[in-house]
């Protein structure tokens, strides 16, 4: 297998040794044991601290996308109104997902290189449309941008909207997140981004209001939230526990708590500002509009003139650097350096920028 000494993919990120070791452990019994429940609860407590929430955190086996689906399918029935705020591919995609399960979706679209700013039109839409759920993405990974959430939470509370759904998959742990203060009912995360655990665990906070709706909706599918409400109390989980994934996630959350959340935020901010300032001084142009808020976890950059993405990707790999391409309308036009989790490292950012500097001067 080819490995790259300069990993800068914006998730899955490089998994640190301690997390790999936690994964490679055998457990006394692989079935549901009190030990597993204890591990689940300790992981939940760490995730509550990271999410800034006293609400229950449900931890499920599956990719980050699972959290996006589980929260929609467990809370919506056909005909429910959803206001989807879209400042990028994930925000728009969540609106499409809600539509696919029969919700009546109104989307507020912003250009993909901007962050939420037109609060008046958002407030008007909330007041007029009275959605059951508002959906938004914290860090739009393909765009490298970070949406502010405080004001949206205030509007949600002021208009008594039942549910605020926030995809925090690529920001959580690298950027302050205050789920309770921002009135977030469903805050979603995944293991393989900032937390730097292997892909395969997803988790979400569920507010009391959301639990009431989950009970009413009573969605029965594989990804349903409802069986998790009393899973710990009843020691009854809806499927076989994934010991290895849970142990890796627990170790990853422990490392973040031990580092200190504020230290992690500072480390991400420092990596991002180094990355941006070096790339701009080399002559690269950042994708986000100057008015947008940049995410401390990812830098999105235009593919420079005179080279295709495929060729840039090849030259980066030849020099030991692997970065992220893009999707949809940004495919082949914008590429990304993921300085999140283990990759929020000044040395690594400098190495990546050195490679890009060499490639650019050869053009
Ligand atoms: C990575 C990511 C997801 C989850 O996708 P995966 O399939 O787990 O990679 C969801 N939302 C955002 C914003 C992400 O960056």
Mind giving me the DSSP string for 11-80?
Answer: SSPPPPHHHHHHHT---S-SS--HHHHHHHHHHHHHHHHHHT--SEEEEEES-HHHHHHHHHHHH--TT-
How many whole angstroms from 165 Cα to the centroid of ligand 1?
15
Query: pLDDT value at position 186?
Result: 98
Which residue's structure tokens are 């000494």? 5
Nearest of 222, 248, 252 to residue 237 by alpha carbon:
222
How many whole angstroms from 248 Cα to the centroid of ligand 1?
18
Q: For a substitution probing ligand 1, which of 10, 11, 67, 338 has the most ligand atoms within 8 Å of its CB?
A: 11
Burial class of residue 232, CB neighbours in 10 A (0-12, 13-18, 19+): middle
Question: 17-258, what's its fold?
Answer: 3.40.640
| CA angle, residues 98, 170, 20, in degrees to nearest 5 | 120
Strand order in the sheet with 186-190: 56-61, 201-206, 186-190, 163-167, 133-137, 81-86, 104-109
How many whole angstroms from 64 Cα to the centroid of ligand 1?
5
| CA angle, residues 75, 76, 81, in degrees to nearest 5 | 125
β-bridge mates for residue 109, sequence order: 86
CA-closest residue to ligand 1 atom 4: 64
> What is the percentage of the chain residues whose pLDDT exceeds 90?
95
**CA–CA separation, 159 vs 350, rounded Å?**
47
**Residue 9 main-chain phi, psi, to 5 deg:** -70, 135
CA-closest residue to ligand 1 atom 12: 169
Q: What is the number of alpha carbons within 13 Å of residue 335 lying toward its C-beta?
A: 25
169 close to ligand 1 (CB < 6 Angstrom): yes
Looking at domain 261-362, its CATH class is alpha beta
**Atom number of ligand 1 nearest to Cα 90:** 13
CA-closest residue to ligand 1 atom 6: 64
The predicted model gives 149-158 an average pLDDT of 98
**Atom number of ligand 1 nearest to Cα 170:** 15
Q: For a substitution probing ligand 1, which of 170, 175, 300 has the most ligand atoms within 8 Å of its CB?
A: 170
90 close to ligand 1 (CB < 6 Angstrom): yes
Nearest of 211, 202, 149, 137 to residue 180 by alpha carbon:
149
Strand segments, DSSP code E, in the chain are 6-7, 56-61, 81-86, 104-109, 133-137, 139-140, 145-146, 163-167, 186-190, 201-206, 298-302, 321-322, 334-338
**Atom number of ligand 1 nearest to Cα 140:** 13
How many whole angstroms from 178 Cα to the centroid of ligand 1?
20
Mean pLDDT in the chain? 97
7 close to ligand 1 (CB < 6 Angstrom): no
Could you report the per-residue pLDDT of 270-304, keeping only the tens digit for each? Answer: 999 999 999 999 999 999 999 999 999 999 999 99
How many whole angstroms from 169 Cα to the centroid of ligand 1?
6
CA-closest residue to ligand 1 atom 8: 64
- The domain ranges of the chain are 17-258, 261-362
**Atom number of ligand 1 nearest to Cα 199:** 8
> Is there a common fold for 17-258 and 261-362?
no
How many whole angstroms from 66 Cα to the centroid of ligand 1?
9
Could you report the per-residue pLDDT of 100-149, keeping only the tens digit for each? Answer: 999 999 999 999 999 999 999 999 999 999 999 999 999 999 999 999 99
End-to-end CA distance of the chain: give it in Å, rounded.
Answer: 30
> What angle, rounded to 10 degrees, do the helices at 261-282 and 346-361 form?
10
Query: pLDDT value at position 3?
Result: 87
Residue 28 has pLDDT above 90, yes or no: no
Query: pLDDT value at position 31?
Result: 67
How many whole angstroms from 65 Cα to the centroid of ligand 1?
6
Query: pLDDT value at position 2?
Result: 84
Residue 222 has pLDDT above 70, yes or no: yes
Token pair recorded at residue 184: 């977030």
> What is the percentage of the chain residues whose pLDDT exceeds 70?
99
137 close to ligand 1 (CB < 6 Angstrom): yes
How many other β-carbons are positioned within 10 Å of the β-carbon of residue 249? 31
**Atom number of ligand 1 nearest to Cα 138:** 13
CA-closest residue to ligand 1 atom 9: 64
How many whole angstroms from 279 Cα to the centroid of ligand 1?
25
Torsion angle defined by CA atoms of residues 72, 78, 81 and 84, in that order, rounded to the nearest 10 degrees: 40
């Amino acid at each position: 297998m080819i490995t790259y000494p300069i990993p800068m993919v914006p998730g899955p990120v490089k998994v640190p040794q301690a997390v790999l070791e936690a994964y490679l452990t055998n457990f006394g019994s692989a079935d549901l044991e009190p030990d597993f429940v204890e591990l689940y609860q300790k992981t939940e407590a760490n995730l509550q601290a990271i999410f800034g929430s006293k609400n229950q955190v449900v931890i499920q086996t599956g990719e980050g996308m699972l959290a996006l689906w589980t929260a929609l399918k467990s809370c919506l029935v056909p005909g429910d109104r959803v206001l989807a705020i879209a400042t990028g591919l994930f925000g728009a995609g969540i609106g499409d997902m809600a539509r696919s399960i029969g919700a009546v979706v109104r989307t507020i679209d912003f250009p993909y290189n901007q962050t939420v700013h037109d609060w008046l039109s958002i407030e008007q839409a909330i007041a007029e449309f009275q959605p059951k759920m508002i959906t938004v993405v914290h860090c739009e990974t393909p765009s490298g941008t970070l949406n502010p959430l405080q004001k949206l939470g205030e509007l949600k509370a002021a208009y008594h909207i039942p549910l605020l759904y926030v995809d925090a998959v690529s920001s959580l742990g690298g950027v302050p997140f205050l789920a309770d203060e921002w009135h977030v009912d469903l805050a979603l995360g995944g293991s393989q981004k900032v937390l730097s655990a292997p892909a395969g665990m997803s988790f979400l906070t569920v507010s009391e209001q959301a639990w009431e709706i989950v009970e009413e909706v009573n969605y029965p599918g594989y990804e349903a939230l409802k069986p998790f409400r009393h899973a710990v109390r009843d020691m009854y989980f809806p499927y076989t526990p994934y010991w290895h994934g849970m142990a890796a996630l627990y170790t990853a959350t422990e490392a973040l708590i031990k580092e200190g959340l504020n230290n992690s935020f500072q480390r991400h901010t420092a990596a991002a500002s180094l990355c941006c300032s070096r790339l701009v001084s080399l002559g690269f142009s950042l994708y986000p509009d100057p008015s947008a808020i940049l995410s401390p976890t990812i830098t999105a950059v235009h593919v420079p003139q005179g080279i295709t993405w495929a060729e840039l990707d090849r030259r980066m790999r030849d020099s030991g650097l692997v970065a992220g391409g893009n999707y949809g309308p940004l495919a082949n036009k914008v590429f990304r350096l993921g300085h999140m989790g283990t990759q929020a490292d000044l040395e690594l950012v400098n190495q990546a920028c050195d490679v890009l500097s060499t490639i650019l001067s050869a053009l």
